[in-house]
Structure 1
């Protein structure tokens, strides 16, 4: 196994399969756009729900949960059609179509400030983005990547993403304060339009795949050899749902400032870049479960700490810790996912598509549980405790069925 020095690690095309290199360029552009808005969209939904239906934290949280429930329901409906589209028309068409839906999402979110029906349209369009982009993304990595260097390829992608997040959230917070959400959404939209261009020069079809069908997906999900993977995906995405949709609102309630949230997020990603680089090297060098177990335990305790947070300095300390140490959770998990998809004697596209279906059901169950928790005063302890449990369940990725 070759360990690349840092200058080769970052973006030298000669060390990178062409499909993966196109992903790197796409990430650099697409994430620049998303880094402006991602941390603020849940807060926007929270505040708009309160403005339409009543100034109450419970109403705001239910509004956020309802939006992302519709988003994921649309994602589930589009999942198998997206996989079939990728097989017949290739990655390029899928990426460009996902960009079209992403542009619609931003347009509808902006319009929703004047008519709440656009929130539903935005959620449906956002749900369509997920399978058309992420199935293509993961299948390119799993099918075109170098299996012994998955850790470095994943961490390279994460570093490129994090570089955008070093600037984007801070800039996004400033834009909101001085110009408002409409200018923020338009700025992100214009950058999204450019992000599909790298795929004009990339391979268009996945290798060694056949069309995905509903019976094949069902057979995959019922296969006992996939049980631990399914549990691990369940845990990982509880972590991501809470971290992506509810934690930003918690940040806003404590920080009470878009600029503070933006600049804290930017600083956290700056520290995360360094950790991600070393996590990728460690993930390829040491193949055992210890790295994922370490990352899972660390993030478990950080989530528990967040449940007790009441001051901004506590929030900042734990956020910086999560971004820097969380790489030792996410990188080995994703690396193992791609290795499993290649090591098993099965269709890579089917593997990734089945994974997305599992994720959809994780969303539905998580939102159901969170919905039960929201009315209580201990809501944040319960929600963050759920994310902590997800960290521990992720360890199942390293356990194999007999």
Structure 2
């Protein structure tokens, strides 16, 4: 029994700093709320009469503005503190959900809503990554990343099921209200320990000089791979809803898939700490690419379950070692410059994916369109492997 317990513990981070524990708890609470609505956002727009092309345009506005606003978010985080920036982002998120729910009431909200989403991202993601990178333990950083992803996925087992039930029986309005309350509560863990920092500025132009730096070209290409994530979060949920047809059943499918992936994330974290992160990433990029190609063959709810599970497992082989390597680089150099470069690069990748979706949605429809989108996502996933060639 002791050996079993020791083996189980070996998959978990055991030397986390208090700041990481607080970030863990805050992230778990926030992700429970976000996971309740994230996959249903594109479905919400789709059921309100927006075409795939219009949904792509919505997210194009989001990521163009996000790239523009991101250096400002980095400056706010460095000037006022990472946790203060995260705190502000939660209330912008609530405003975004309010605008999203009312988006069909006024044409101007089609511009205001993505602008709020971009602003929330600019305040949240640079601060979140910088906070994690600053306090992560170098000896077990992959387990800290994998452990958090695993816990988030376990929380997400319940979230889609709850969300599907709320939408099915009470509608999207009730869902957005529940999520807003949860987002406010997610700030409480960050208030346990007083944040200590030295206010510093973050020059706006530095972010763009780093983005186009020849020395970081391979890293830039690597993060372009995140373009596939945009298709995973917008096109794939719409495809699943069409095949499954019922929000309650769709929530159940996602819950089962998330639970299986949660266990796998712990294994990937431990493997990445004990072995070569680059090898795991190289193999993972190929496996994950293949999982995208098989999605085009899905025609039943059982197929959706199998495909979604395989896709999530493949993504863990990439995200745990890749994020861990990114945090290690941040600790060696400038934390905020590294995480801003990471977020700006992946946003460019998502814009490339969105441009393809927007263009092809005008000329393709039905199964043909979804097949092309999934194949393109598979090709983008191969770009993750470029990180293994960075010294």
Same fold (TM > 0.5): yes
| Corresponding position of 1:226 | 216
CA distance in 1, matches of 2:256, 2:26: 23
Task: Work out whether residues 292 and 329 of structure 1, in 8 Å CA contact, stay in contact via their aligned partners in 2.
Answer: yes
- Distance apart, 1:38 and its partner CA: 0.9
Q: 1:132 to 1:9 in 2, by over 3 A?
A: farther
Give the one of 145, 148, 155 matched to 2:146.
155
Alpha-carbon distance in structure 2 between the residues aligned to 1:157 and 1:81: 27
Q: Distance in 1 between matches of 2:104 and 2:167?
A: 14
Please report the TM-score for the alignment, with normalisation by the length of structure 2: 0.92
The list of structure 1 runs, each at least 4 consecutive aligned residues, that deviate by more than 6 angstroms after superposition, is: none
Distance in 1 (alpha carbons) for counterparts of 2:168 and 2:246:
9
**2:82/2:130 contact within 8 Å kept:** no
Distance (whole Å) between structure 2 residues aligned to residue 160 and residue 119 of structure 1:
34
Which digits, 9 at most, give the CA deviation of each residue in 1:87-143, with x for residues without a partner? 110012201110011010111112224334334322111111112111111111212
Matched ranges for 1:286-301 at <5 A: 286-301=275-290
Q: In the TM superposition, what is the alpha-carbon distance from 1:205 to its structure 2 partner?
A: 5.0
User: For 1:156-183, what per-residue CA distance to the aligned partner results, in whole angstroms no more than 9, with x for missing partners?
Assistant: 1101211221001011111111101100
Distance in 1 (alpha carbons) for counterparts of 2:197 and 2:207:
18
Contact residue 274 and residue 324 of structure 1 kept, 8 A: no
Please, what is the CA RMSD of the aligned residues? Answer: 2.1
Deviations 1:190-226 (A, max 9, x none): 111111122223453568x953213322332233221
CA contact (8 A) 2:280 2:317 kept: yes
Aligned twin of 1:105 = 96
In 2, distance between residues paired with 1:131 and 1:63?
23
Displacement of 1:301 in angstroms is 0.9
Return the TM-score normalized by structure 1.
0.90
Q: Whole-Å Cα distance in 1 between the matches of residues 289 and 55 of structure 2? A: 24
Please state how far the C-alpha of 1:321 moved relative to its aligned partner: 1.6
Please name the residue that 2:353 is paired with: 366
Do structure 1's residue 172 and structure 2's residue 163 form an aligned pair?
yes
- The residue aligned with 2:70 is 79
1:214 alignment partner, one of 195, 204, 219: 204
Work out whether residues 277 and 321 of structure 2, in 8 Å CA contact, stay in contact via their aligned partners in 1. Answer: no
Who is 2:382 aligned against?
A: 392
Match of 2:3 in 1: none
* Cα 1:240–1:128 shift into 2, 3 Å: same
Unaligned runs of 5+ in 1: 51-59
Q: Is the CA contact (8 Å cut-off) linking 2:32 and 2:155 kept in structure 1?
A: yes
